[in-house]
Chains A and B, each alone.
Chain A
Amino acid sequence: MNKLLVADSVSKDYGDFRALNQVSIAVPKGSIFGLLGPNGAGKTTLIRIINQITMPDEGKVILDGQPLQQEHIKDIGYLPEERGLYKSMKVGEQALYLAQLKGMSKSEAKKQLKLWFDKFEIGDWWNKKIQELSKGQAQKIQFIVTVLHKPKLLIFDEPFSGFDPINANLIKDEILKLREEGSTVIFSTHRMESVEELCDHIALIHKSNKVLDGNLIDIKRQYKSNTFEVGLKSSNSQTVINEIKNKFVVLPATFKNVYDDVKLNVKITPEISPNDLLSFLTSKAEVHHFVEVIPSANDIFIKTVKNN
């Protein structure tokens, strides 16, 4: 069993509006799974179904081999996008309460909380009220509360919003550490650079349908267009350019290179191997830059959403 969570043809209707249409995803154990999509695509609905906040109208969800049920609440940690805490309650009391709701015993929760508070160096917040903390500080507490009970599955919805770069980094490192310790992470965000950085797998939901999913590298392979950035040093650049143009499809290039006598994006057909292109280039001039153009997550996101 290498899938921690499988959603199988899940649909959800709100009145006449179909929020999710036959969406299936499979989240491998130990992966960081990016759940992407434009605003209002249905990500939050899917996440709420996984959290048993709402029930699907059709389809089923399997967690660790079992159909989703009440007992699984303690196996999931959820940091919602719309998040907050009781403003007039003290930090410590509140964290203890939320941990107990997740099924932890009071003493265990206290012990774990102390560890986390020490790690984040916020031990002196215990008796403060939430309303005395800044937004970023409160988010830290929310993060701790989400991961405290060491759930198998962590779901973060825009985890970095509201954090300054330093704290965002801190949280990112903690997410990676949790994955190393065996947690599986579902990660929903609009920030594509963090998808690039963190996610192994992604699924893209658009207008209530899943339009793309899989291993991020596989997807990139699928989306790449066999285009290479080529930077050459040559004394008679125009001749070389013309020779390349005669043989390959050439596109304008924008990359930066120290030698830009010849600066091109060269697209080759699948039958031609990059080696052929490279040996052709070396025969004509001195090669200083030869990089395959790999679409970024951002490119893939925009392209897929536009095409649908």
Chain B
Amino acid sequence: MNHLPLIIKREYLNKVKNKSFIIMTFLSPLIMIALISVVAYLLQLNTNKKRTISILDESGLFSEVFINTENITYNYSNNTALSSAKAVVKEKEQYGLLYIGKGDLETVSETIQFYSEESPSLTIISSLENKIERKLRDLKLVANGLDSEQIKASRANVNISQETFDGQKSSKIDNILKLAFGGISGYLLFMFIIIYGNMIMRSVIEEKTSRIIEIIISSVKPIQLMMGKIIGTSLAGVTQFAIWIILLGILSTIVSMIFGVDLMSAQGQQQELVQQAMDNSSVQNEINLVVQSFQNLPLANLIVAFLLFFIGGYLLYSSLYAAIGAAVDNETDTQQFMLPILMPLILAVYVGVFTVIEDPHGTVSTVFSFIPFTSPVVMLMRIPFGVPLWQQLVSLLLLIGTFTSTVWFAAKIYRVGILMYGKKASYKELFKWLKY
């Protein structure tokens, strides 16, 4: 008698019909959008603040450099002493005073100083520095006999295009896209394991505390019940994730339509800088590059690998969660067993974030993409950068081997643990159960 579909159905419906599950499903995107909106709003508030900066330029070299922008007004105050200029700035509650002393091209840079009430924002200072540096460079070039046309012509914008030996092309944008892809899938798996692994654990504990377990177990094999639970809960998880993604899409469209807030413009300041940097290259060109990069991604490989590693990694961890649920009587007792599960997971994410970005094919990321407990997350992050098929296969085989044994191991603990009441299991005890 195969009861697996029946159990899966019950677990799925039980989760999906649960009130708090429904509330979480529909509330979470709302909360998330609200949070993002608040953050975006606050950021905008910050950048939109009108500031006035006075400039006292005794050298006279920088008369045309500081041009008012939307948020910053530059106010040249010439022919005043530094002390009185400071007093004026202070009195008018301006943001600060940029003082440029007397000097020629070589010495002027040492005289520059910024006075303000509070320590100034880093971005403003670096933007001022940029402007001064550029002007000084131009002036020096002119002094060396170049004219301004020549200087303009000398500016270049380089985007190194990369190509592997077997002809796979990539670029910087490619890399960003790959990072995004890998990062999102790795992080998604991480979140999925933690959220739904916990849910499985709680559902096992619930069966123990409600004492229905012995009734069920007299009808089905424990491993069937465990697998049914894992699959049913995962399907509920997939449903929830899908709803979240759809809702997030809809909500963010609505929000941006209503408030006219382009959520992405939260990084307005960065955009400004980017635009400055892209003086010469057109935006259209960039968009083309992104599209091209997207097409460059090994999409088929990505999708297949995502599915396999996602399922493998999820099964590996969720069976452990089920075993923990079986080993304890209530949720508070789970702590001692949670750490060994969370450690490799967190490690995987850190390895993924820090080493894969640095060097997707380096020793650390390669090794961790083989170790089964970290491989799903790390490998998912590496794959967009092109991982040789043999590596993917070996890693996958290792993963399958390991999850088969953890499922077996979990089933053993599960089988004994679900019938143990009122006992707080220790690791020693768990080890004994394996031999029953």
Interface residues of chain A, those whose CB is within 8 Å of chain B, are 14-15, 48, 51-54, 70-71, 73-74, 76, 78, 80, 82-89, 97-98, 100-103, 142, 145
Given A15-B432, A70-B1, decide whether A82 and B211 contact each other with a Cβ distance below 8 A.
yes
Pairs A–B under 8 Å by Cβ, sample size 20? A52-B218, A70-B1, A73-B218, A80-B211, A80-B214, A80-B215, A80-B218, A82-B214, A83-B215, A84-B212, A85-B215, A86-B14, A86-B206, A86-B207, A87-B210, A101-B7, A101-B219, A101-B220, A103-B1, A142-B215
Q: How far is the CB of A89 from chain B (nearest CB, A)?
A: 7
Residues 28-57 of chain B: 1 if any A CB is under 8 Å from the residue's CB, otherwise 0?
A: 000000000000000000000000000000
The CA-CA distance from A100 to B421 in the complex, in Å, is 27
Are B432 and A98 closer than 8 Å at their CB atoms?
A: no
Residues of chain A within 8 A (CB-CB) of B1 are: 70-71, 73-74, 103
Q: Which 3 A-B pairs have the closest CB atoms?
A: A84-B211, A101-B219, A80-B214
Are B436 and A86 closer than 8 Å at their CB atoms?
A: no
A53, A88, A145 — most chain B CB neighbours (10 Å):
A53
Q: Could you tell me how many residues of chain B have their Cβ less than 8 Å away from some Cβ of chain A?
A: 24
Q: Does B288 contact A (CB under 8 A)?
A: no
Q: Does B6 contact A (CB under 8 A)?
A: yes
Residues 405-436 of chain B: 1 if any A CB is under 8 Å from the residue's CB, otherwise 0?
A: 00000000000000101000000000010011
Are B218 and A83 closer than 8 Å at their CB atoms?
A: no
Q: Does B3 contact A (CB under 8 A)?
A: yes
The CA-CA distance from A78 to B217 in the complex, in Å, is 10
Interface SS of chain B: helix, strand, loop or mixed?
Answer: loop
The CA-CA distance from A89 to B6 in the complex, in Å, is 15
Residues of chain B within 8 A (CB-CB) of A100 are: 3, 6
Are A73 and B215 closer than 8 Å at their CB atoms?
A: no
Residues of chain B within 8 A (CB-CB) of A102 are: 219
Residues of chain B within 8 A (CB-CB) of A83 are: 211-212, 214-215
Are B215 and A145 closer than 8 Å at their CB atoms?
A: yes
B207, B215, B220, B419 — most chain A CB neighbours (10 Å):
B215
Are A48 and B3 closer than 8 Å at their CB atoms?
A: no
Are A15 and B435 closer than 8 Å at their CB atoms?
A: yes
* Residue in B7, B210, B220 whose CB lies within 8 Å of A85: B210
Q: How far is the CB of A46 from chain B (nearest CB, A)?
A: 14
Residues of chain B within 8 A (CB-CB) of A54 are: 436
The CA-CA distance from A98 to B210 in the complex, in Å, is 15
Residues of chain B within 8 A (CB-CB) of A84 are: 210-212, 215
The CA-CA distance from A103 to B219 in the complex, in Å, is 9
Are B14 and A89 closer than 8 Å at their CB atoms?
A: yes
Residues of chain A within 8 A (CB-CB) of B435 are: 15
Q: How far is the CB of A263 from chain B (nearest CB, A)?
A: 50
Residues of chain A within 8 A (CB-CB) of B3 are: 100-101
Residues of chain A within 8 A (CB-CB) of B436 are: 14-15, 54
Q: Does B282 contact A (CB under 8 A)?
A: no
Closest to A12 in B: B436
Given A89-B14, A97-B6, decide whether A51 and B218 contact each other with a Cβ distance below 8 A.
yes
The CA-CA distance from A127 to B263 in the complex, in Å, is 47
Known: A51-B217, A82-B211, A100-B3. 13 other contacts (CB 8 A): A52-B218, A53-B419, A78-B214, A82-B214, A82-B421, A83-B212, A83-B214, A83-B215, A86-B14, A98-B215, A101-B3, A101-B6, A101-B216
